[in-house]
A and B are shown apart, each in its own frame.
Chain A
Amino acid sequence: MGILKTFVLGGVHPEENKLSAGVAIQELAVPEQVAVPFGQNLGAPSKPVVKRGEKVKAGQLIAEASSFISANVHSPVSGTIFKIDNVVDASGYRRPCFIIKVEGNDWDEGIDLTEKLITKEDYTPQEIIEKVKKAGIVGMGGATFPTHVKLMVPPGKTAEYLIINGVECEPYLTSDHRLMLEKGDEILVGIRLLMIALGVEKAMIGIENNKPDALKHLTTLAEKYKGISVHALKVKYPQGGEKQLIKALLNREVPSGKLPVEVGCVVQNVGTVFAVYEAVQKNKPLIDRVVTVTGKGVKAPSNFKVRIGTPVKDLIEAAGGLPESTGKILNGGPMMGKALLNPDVPIVKGSSGILILENKMASRPTENPCIRCSKCTNVCPMGLEPYLLSRLARTSHFAEAEKEKVMDCIECGSCQYTCPADIPLLDYLRLGKAKVGEIIRKRN
């Protein structure tokens, strides 16, 4: 293997800690009750189509997309809508939720629950996009952007490459890794379907070099398909960021404020690709996903296939229980994950992992004065100056922060991870982004 591809600007390499990489995906038992938020996607929340007391089957539509950038929600279980209530979900926000009491195991009609691989390809792009839309698929890497919207290339733009994100650059997380190993065939069929939907001839799968088994497996499988290539990438965070991945694979840079399609690319995460396969070939809506449960104090770090709406505590219980030393529970990885208020919150479409951090890692060290070491600037993958942006945000100089491109920040956290003075740089950058976003919205 020659020199591994990677992105150029910045980046860090935290300890990988992929504790659950060798553990096969296990199906978690359906809980007694699930809580399914309507608004699991980026964009407008969905609109409920069932009422309290109604009986629902697994896979039945319970809330529909309310606008262009919105996604359907399906019942992950069969049972009764017990109530519709506001619940804090894994995103940390209080959102309207269906609380469903599980009864029996009835499935909506037409859903194929067998493991049989279906490789049928004679679909029109519209048919595929329609099925993806119907199935309520959103970006499963965590951003939860409705997938069907990404498949509709805006007029005047051309998609040339489908980029498949198998990077999983977040430390600890292994759900994409396991999926690539165990559902490789399905993922490749899913990629073919997405290529048809987008009308592209070429697809590239990017996988970091710390997953040699997945690289080898998918490379072998990809030989059977035309136009799909697999690429080993040097391990560097945040390579799973869309812009960084495109840069690594094609040396193209998505311009500031633009989407990947600007440089002819559409990026999809491997988890999303698997969901597309299930939606198109099996008529199965997005009602379950693979979630890594991990952490240094966790007895049995695992990868579970769980229904959406399952309480996080059920997953933790299945991985050996909440360790005594627990200080923080994260939805996602240690670099970009969100800290949970309690373990009762439900798993959502965007939950790729539950990471349990020990007490000693939970609290932040005290902030020291900036020594202007420029390490934050050196590691920023977007070429920004976090020391400057955080100071501008702290002192409410938002117009200047906008000029200094605060909106380009992808919130990867590399700056704060590196800062020797332990300054909470990303907190201030988020503040700057929120305020500048407000200013931009008012202006337009």
Chain B
Amino acid sequence: MNKMLTVSGSPHIHGDESTKKIMLGVVYAMIPAMLVSIYFFGLNAVRVLLLSALACLLFEWAIQKYILKGPLTIKDGSALVTGVLLAFNVPSNLPSWMVIIGALVAIGIAKMSFGGLGKNVFNPALVARVFLLISFPVAMTTWPIPKVLPANLADTITGATPLGYIKEGLRAGHTIPQMMPHLPTYMQELMGQMGGSMGEVSAIAIILGGAFLLWKKIITWEIPVSILVTVFLFSGLLWFINPMRYADPFFQLLTGGLMLGAFFMATDMVTSPMTRNGKLIFGFGIGLLTILIRVWGAYPEGVSFAILLMNAVVPLINRGFKPRRFGKKPGVVTVSK
């Protein structure tokens, strides 16, 4: 009965969670939005998706192999997630070389220079989006109008996003009710028939993916719900005060990158807080900043900036918001004799 036995500390069993499983889960959750982007933007969407994903994987592999000379982790799926998210965050007609630059910024600067998976402070895909937006403002805001296959297999005409349209309109002295008839209906916005980055247009596809993430317990409800509720209440308040100047809360919820941000970008595990209360504050901050930027900022869209700004305060939130420790609620001891 003498065998070589393994001796190690408890626990001796492990649940079925793994990094790879989580990352692949996120990829699965992005399938509805991917399909919608291909449906609306045609082969260009396929080009950007493939290019972005492959470039992210390639850069991660190359940096780990030739610069860091450490272990290779492209199999964990995190670079693939970044790649697809980056594609979601750019217009489908973005030139290929810009997509590749975006991938390099996301993986090289935002992820690897911080130490790789788990160490980055900012969401890599968003860093790349903002980098591209600042570097190539025209290309990054030239939005193809979504049409339906097969009419747009190659070319698309371009237009403004609803948020961009009202920003310009307000500057030109128009009121919100004057502009509303020229904008997509709520139903069109819900389905994704509006200008925007390729993965952000369809709220319904994103909510579907978000529901999958919640079901699989890859994300928890706190961040998306607090973002959406804050945006709804804050923009609702402004709209209530002056409906001529401020767009209604449903418009704010359905346009721009809000849904994508709330379910896929802000919920990135690495760059969001660790406790329930911390997550609620984080989401509240994102919602607040989003509307502040959209309404008073120079840019029509504020979700990316809002998330990146809140990413920066995550370490502080983690220090300030601790989980409820056991033993804080002793209960009353009734003396029975």
Cβ-based interface call for B65 (8 A): no
Binary A-proximity of B323-335 (CB < 8 A = 1, otherwise 0): 1111111110111
Stretch at the interface among A218-226, A246-254, A266-274, A300-308: A246-254
Q: In the complex, what residue of chain B is closest to A341 when comparing beta carbons?
A: B7
Mark each residue of chain A from 234 to 252: 1 if its CB lies under 8 Å from any CB of chain B, else 0.
0000000001000100111
B178 at the interface (CB under 8 A from A): no
CB contact list, B13-60 vs A, under 8 A: 13-15, 17-19, 21-22
Complex Cα distance, B254 from A345, in Å, reads: 67
Q: How far is the CA of A109 from the CA of B140 in the complex (A)?
A: 93
The distance in angstroms between the C-alpha atoms of A313 and B2, with both chains bound, is: 10
Q: B105 to nearest A CB, angstroms?
A: 21
Residues facing A in B278-337 (CB within 8 A) are 318, 322-331, 333-337
Q: Does A229 contact B (CB under 8 A)?
A: no
Q: Is B3 an interface residue (CB 8 A)?
A: yes
**CA separation between A427 and B330, bound complex, in Å?**
29
Complex Cα distance A121/B231, Å? 68
Question: Is A117 positioned at the interface, with any CB of B under 8 Å from its CB?
Answer: no
State whether A418 touches B15 (Cβ < 8 A).
yes
Interface with A: B114-122, B145-153, B162-170, B196-204, which one?
B114-122
Q: Is the CB of B13 within 8 A of A14?
A: yes
* A255 near B330: Cβ-Cβ < 8 Å: yes
Of the residues B2, B270, B272, B274, contact of A385 by C-beta under 8 Å: B274
Q: Which residues of B contact A362 (CB under 8 A)?
A: 5-6, 12
**Cβ 8 A contact of B6, one of A328, A408, A427:** A328
Contacts of A368 in B (CB 8 A): 19, 73, 76, 117
Query: Is the contact region of chain A dominated by helix, strand, or loop, or is it mixed?
Result: loop
Q: When each residue 102-135 of chain B gets 1 if its CB lies under 8 Å from chain A and 0 otherwise, what string results?
A: 0000000000000011110000000000000000
Contacts of B330 in A (CB 8 A): 252-255, 262-263
Known contacts being A322-B1, A381-B326, A387-B274, is A365 close to B12, with CB within 8 Å?
A: no
Q: Contact partner of B12 among A263, A339, A370, A375, CB < 8 A? A: A339
Which B residues touch A258, using CB under 8 A? 327
What is the 8 Å Cβ interface bit string for chain A, positions 378-410, against chain B (1 contact, 0 not)? Answer: 101111110110000000000000000100100
Q: Determine the chain A residues whose CB is within 8 A of the CB of B15 once the complex forms.
A: 12, 14, 417-418
A374 touches B13 (CB 8 A): no
Please tell me if B173 contacts chain A, counting CB pairs below 8 Å: no
A201 touches B22 (CB 8 A): no
How distant is the Cα of A374 from the Cα of B11 in the complex, in angstroms? 19
Q: Which residues of A are found within 8 Å of B14, using beta-carbon distances?
A: 365, 416-417, 422
Q: For the complex, count residues of B whose C-beta is within 8 A of A.
A: 50
Would you call B326 and A372 a contact (CB within 8 A)? Answer: no
Bound together, the chains give a CA A430 to CA B330 distance in angstroms of: 26
Between B7, B117, B327, the greatest number of chain A beta carbons within 10 A of the residue's beta carbon is seen for B327
Question: Is B118 a contact of A371 with CB atoms below 8 Å?
Answer: yes
Cβ of B134 to closest chain A Cβ, rounded Å: 27
**Do B19 and A380 touch across chains, with their CB atoms under 8 A apart?**
no
A44 to B323, CA, bound (A): 36
B12: which A residues are within 8 A, CB to CB? 328, 330, 334-335, 337, 339, 355, 357, 361-362
| A64 contacts chain B at the CB level, 8 A cutoff | no
Q: How far is the CB of A148 from chain B (nearest CB, A)?
A: 22
Complex interface: chain A residues within 8 A of B13 (CB): 14-15, 171, 334-335, 361, 417
The digit string for A411-435, where 1 denotes a CB below 8 A from any CB of B, is 1011011111110101100100000
**Would you call A61 an interface residue if the criterion is a C-beta within 8 Å of the partner chain's C-beta atoms?**
no
B324 near A421 with CB under 8 A, answer no
Least CB distance from A141 to B in Å reads 15
Q: B326 and A327: CB pair below 8 A?
A: no
Question: Interface extent on A, as a size class?
Answer: 35 or more
A376 to B119, CA, bound (A): 17
CB contact list, A203-230 vs B, under 8 A = none
Asked whether B117 lies within 8 Å of A369 as measured between CB atoms, the reply is: yes
Q: Does A340 contact B (CB under 8 A)?
A: yes
Smallest CB separation, A388 vs chain B (Å): 8
Query: Is B10 a contact partner of A337 (Cβ separation < 8 A)?
Result: yes
B275 an interface residue at 8 Å Cβ cutoff? Answer: yes
Chain A positions within 8 Å of B10 at CB level: 332, 334-339, 411, 413, 426
Asked if B274 and A9 make an inter-chain contact with CB atoms under 8 angstroms apart, the answer reads no
Please tell me if B181 contacts chain A, counting CB pairs below 8 Å.
no
Is A373 engaged at the interface, CB distance under 8 Å to the other chain? yes
Which chain A residues border B8 with CB–CB below 8 Å?
328, 339, 363-364
**Which B-chain residue is minimally distant from A365 (CB atoms)?**
B14
Contact of A369 among B3, B22, B116, B220 (CB under 8 A): B116
Q: Determine whether the beta carbon of B17 is less than 8 Å from that of A420.
A: yes
Whether A41 is near chain B, meaning CB under 8 Å from some CB there, is: no
Q: CB of B187 within 8 A of chain A?
A: no
CB B72 to nearest CB in A, in angstroms, measures 12
With both chains docked as a complex, state the minimum distance between the C-beta of A131 and any C-beta of chain B, in angstroms: 24
Interface membership of B138, Cβ < 8 A: no
Select which of B5, B76, B274, B335 is within 8 A of A372 by beta carbon.
B274
* In contact, A419 and B323 (Cβ under 8 angstroms): no
A361→B10 CA distance, assembly (Å): 12
Closest B residue by C-beta to A252: B331
Q: Are A417 and B11 in contact (CB under 8 A)?
A: yes
- B269 close to chain A: CB less than 8 A: yes
Name which of B12, B220, B330 has the most chain A CB atoms within 10 A of its CB. B12
For the complex, is A377 an interface residue (Cβ under 8 Å from B)?
Answer: yes
Measured between beta carbons, the chain B residues less than 8 angstroms from A9 are: 323-324, 326
Within the complex, the shortest CB–CB distance from B213 to chain A, in Å, comes to: 12
B residues within 8 A CB of A158?
333, 335, 337
The distance in angstroms between the C-alpha atoms of A371 and B6, with both chains bound, is 28
- Whether A108 sits at the interface, judged by CB under 8 Å, is no
Q: Are B7 and A340 in contact (CB under 8 A)?
A: yes
Given contacts A372-B270, A383-B324, contact A421 B19 (CB under 8 A): yes
Q: Which residues of B contact A12 (CB under 8 A)?
A: 15
Partner of B5, one of A160, A329, A421: A329
A408 and B270 contact, Cβ closer than 8 Å, known pairs A339-B5, A339-B12:
no
Contact in complex: A420, B323 (CB < 8 Å): no
Residue of B15, B270, B271, B275 most packed against chain A (CB within 10 A)? B15
In the complex, chain B residues whose CB is within 8 Å of the CB of A408: 325-327
Asked whether, in the complex, the Cβ of B5 is within 8 Å of the Cβ of A340, the reply is yes
> What would 17 more interface pairs be, CB under 8 Å, given A256-B327, A313-B1?
A160-B333, A200-B336, A254-B327, A255-B327, A322-B1, A328-B5, A335-B10, A336-B11, A340-B5, A340-B7, A362-B6, A371-B19, A372-B271, A383-B323, A408-B326, A416-B14, A419-B17
- Residues of chain A having any CB pair with chain B under 8 Å: 9, 12, 14-15, 92, 158, 160, 171, 199-202, 243, 247, 250-256, 258, 262-264, 313, 316-317, 322, 326-330, 332, 334-343, 355, 357, 361-365, 368-375, 377-378, 380-385, 387-388, 405, 408, 411, 413-414, 416-422, 424, 426-427, 430
Nearest 4 A/B pairs, CB to CB: A413-B11, A252-B331, A420-B17, A369-B118
